[in-house]
Structure 1
Amino acid sequence: MRSILFLLLSLLQSAVFLPSMAVGTPPAKSDEPIEIGAIFAESGIAAAHNQPLIEMTRLAVKKINDRGGLLGRPVHLTLFDNLSTPIGSAVAAKKSALHNVVAVIGAHWSSHSLAMAPILQKAGIPMISPGSTNPEVTKGKKYIFRACFIDSFQGLAMAKFAHDDLRARTAVVATNIDEDYSTVLGQFFCRAFEKSGGRILEEIGYRGSANDFSAIIGVIEKHRPDVVYLPGYTRDSGLFIKQARKMGITATFLGGDAWDEIETYAGESVEGSFQSAAWHPEVPFPASRELKKFFTAAYGKEIANNSSPLAYDAAMILADAILRAGTTDRIAIRDALAATKDFQGATGSITFDENGDPLDKAIIIIEFKDGNRVFKQTIQP
């Protein structure tokens, strides 16, 4: 197994230096489609979580083409399945480069983007992630951008909410040790909660593929904390909460922006919990109202995923950058992305800082109440 893994990684490293992956973009005929890549999970454990973002990315491209395309040319989106793994994400990044895309939208999970970003950075291909919140995704990589807030602020915001609004003074933190997103976000919450005067009674790790959380829940039962911070993904967090409630845990559960559609696994057990998010149907942004109408007209349903509008914003930010660049040259697109200022998206106004991260991106706190996701408050940086 190790030899196969080594071979895959070696192939990936060597592929980065293929001539077709050189910085800049080969000239195209004026009537040829503009090729944009999208890297998400169509298969594997992340597929259900990624599907709404794929929908939104396709919807954005439809919107762009309905308006006449970009620079007088239609936009063609090619989706590359990352198989829900970091290695699959790296392979998808290599494939997108060989496909001569002008830019890449994705990935969503931080562990996937962390694997992709160095390859696309070295190839000189702009990448914009909708929801990878790990700070390391963009750090030191001038071709890599994101549409979301970062975990240092997300952890701080939820710690502040727990301490100031919920009056929590003790917490247990349980993280998915298989995912960088979960472990890093958990660390940021711990630091911020302790700095505010709260006490972290215990930090516990679990495997993302776990189905039985009774041992960890037993530790929580022993500590009787005010809150349990659970920065996992939909499946593991949902199962965890459901089992905890059955075992009599009464602490308030708190989660991050990856709790999309957690009700699928937690059911009514998620009642009374809170999560941080990038979007809610009640946000007051004009672009959000427009997106809700367009989405319902296209799919015949309402937006049920709080992260998916980030994919729409990522695609529209990229389109805006291509228009401002006036060319499909990758270097020019990167420069235009870096110069993005006051872009009015569905998730708010976006201006990139020197790291390719949005400045002043607010966090929304959502409460699970009476079977609904209720807008609780907005926390500004």
Structure 2
Amino acid sequence: MKRFLGGGVIICSVLVLAGAGPAQNIKVGGFLPMTGAVAAYGQDAKVGIEVAMGMKPTVLGKKVEFVIADTKSDKIEAANAMSRLIERDKVAAVIGEMISGNTMAGAPIAEKATIPVVSPTATNPLVTQGKKYIFRVCFIDPVQGDIAAKYAFNALKAKKAALIVDKSQDYCVGLAKFFKDAFTKLGGQIVAETFCVTEDKDFSAQLSTIKPTNADVIYAPNYYSPVALFTKQARELGVKAPVLSGDGAQADELIQIGGKEVEGVAFTGHFHKKGATTKLAKDWISSFEKKFKTDANAFHALGADAYFVLLDAITRAKSTRGADVRKALASTKNFEAISGKLSIGEDGNAVKPMVINVVKNGKFDYLTTVNP
């Protein structure tokens, strides 16, 4: 799929009725990484949201205008992007960010301004902790780490696990901890724990520690680039242990970077079309595939889910006032989303199904769904 990028702030085109001016539109901010280390997530979410906007372009009788501020995959830039959306663009609500650390960087600004934020995929529990205006449409990492540990121990029959953890990302550090706690509680042993940062290209040092342990599974709860490069180098060195990851691995770039060496990499995830059962999912998938002639991934779907959930809250609130939309978001109950039926409470967290996917024949394939 081609991605079209512009300068620091990108305004997505929307259909506006002839004669309609900006005052007649409802502005929603896109707080997304369009450039930088995790740009693929933001670009994919943008595409998913645009498909959703084609299906539901209005709310409260007004056109939705989607205004994107590029976080550049950076915490400082994320804070700046949130400020621009609120102070300059005057958005009523925000969708983003895609990763936990950047979401937390912008959250205090939104809280102070009482602007509701819905993250598609920020899974660290700290994202919503102590916050009134921060929400998410994804599961949280304690659940993800627990399911991953059970899959490793029960399905893969792993008794010894080695870890490679991106220490520069809150998401990765947190997910590793939840996996370790659950795996050892089941009776498993952590035989090695190594660290990297998102920009690393050479994993020889980590592999020199992991290879002699003969681990039964390698848990790599990192974003797509380090997972792909690490797995590729591991296979080249003859390390055959299965690699298990988290939802951050499900980007097309994992396969583009890793090639045939990432065959068999499994991960806990948010979405696969084989596990999508709601009417909204079927309609959105049909629209997506008609437009792009390819399968949608989790970041496409979760971006769209954030949009649909936000518009549902605005509709129920009958208002774009921050406090009213916040109250509606916190009372979301059994919403039939693309990624499954979800509910959101006062804590801002979504209760929803999880899927386990695997790279098979150069594509993401579906293994199973785990319900809450």
Normalization by structure 2: what TM-score?
0.91
Q: Which residue of 2 aligns with 1:15?
A: none
Out of 288, 295, 303, the position equivalent to 2:295 is 303
Q: Which residue of 1 aligns with 2:72?
A: 83
1:377 maps to 2:368:
yes
Task: For residue 374 of structure 1, give the secondary structure of its aligned residue in structure 2.
Answer: strand
Q: Which residue of 2 aligns with 1:180?
A: 170
Q: Which residue of 1 aligns with 2:7?
A: none
1:90 maps to amino acid: A
1:74 maps to 2:36:
no
1:317 maps to 2:306:
no
Structure 1: distance between partners of 2:22 and 2:313: 18
Task: For residue 100 of structure 1, give the secondary structure of its aligned residue in structure 2.
Answer: coil
Q: Which residue of 2 aligns with 1:275?
A: 267
Structure 2: distance between partners of 1:372 and 1:84: 26
Q: How do residues 64-213 of structure 1 correspond to structure 2 at under 5 angstroms?
A: 64-65=56-57, 69-98=58-87, 99-213=89-203
Tell me the CA shift for residue 32 of structure 1.
1.3
Q: Which residue of 2 aligns with 1:20?
A: none
2:279 maps to amino acid: P
Long gaps (5+) in structure 2: 1-20
Structure 2: distance between partners of 1:167 and 1:199: 12
Structure 2: distance between partners of 1:374 and 1:62: 27
Alpha-carbon displacement from aligned partner over 1:88-119 (angstroms, at most 9, x marks no partner): 11001111111211100000011110101111
How many correspondences in the alignment? 348
Tell me the CA shift for residue 272 of structure 1.
1.9
Alpha-carbon displacement from aligned partner over 1:154-192 (angstroms, at most 9, x marks no partner): 000010011111111000011111111111101110000
Aligned alpha-carbon RMSD (Å): 1.4
Alpha-carbon displacement from aligned partner over 1:131-174 (angstroms, at most 9, x marks no partner): 00000001110111000000000000010011111111000011
Structure 2: distance between partners of 1:216 and 1:313: 37
Task: For residue 145 of structure 1, give the secondary structure of its aligned residue in structure 2.
Answer: strand
Out of 247, 253, 271, the position equivalent to 2:237 is 247
* Contact 1:155-1:185 within 8 A present in 2 as well: yes
2:97 maps to amino acid: A
Structure 1: distance between partners of 2:22 and 2:105: 34
* Contact 1:124-1:331 within 8 A present in 2 as well: yes
Q: How do residues 219-258 of structure 1 correspond to structure 2 at under 5 angstroms?
A: 219-258=209-248
Q: Which residue of 2 aligns with 1:40?
A: 32
Structure 1: distance between partners of 2:22 and 2:242: 57
Tell me the CA shift for residue 303 of structure 1.
2.9
* Contact 1:147-1:358 within 8 A present in 2 as well: yes
* Contact 1:227-1:254 within 8 A present in 2 as well: yes
* Contact 2:272-2:366 within 8 A present in 1 as well: yes
Q: Which residue of 1 aligns with 2:318?
A: 326
Structure 1: distance between partners of 2:191 and 2:284: 43
Tell me the CA shift for residue 304 of structure 1.
4.0
Structure 1: distance between partners of 2:229 and 2:211: 17
Q: Which residue of 1 aligns with 2:282?
A: 289
Alpha-carbon displacement from aligned partner over 1:269-327 (angstroms, at most 9, x marks no partner): 11122111100010123222111111122x33223422320110100011011111111
Going from structure 1 to structure 2, the CA distance change for 1:372 and 1:47 (only over 3 Å counts) comes to closer
Structure 2: distance between partners of 1:371 and 1:78: 34
Aligned-pair identity (%): 35
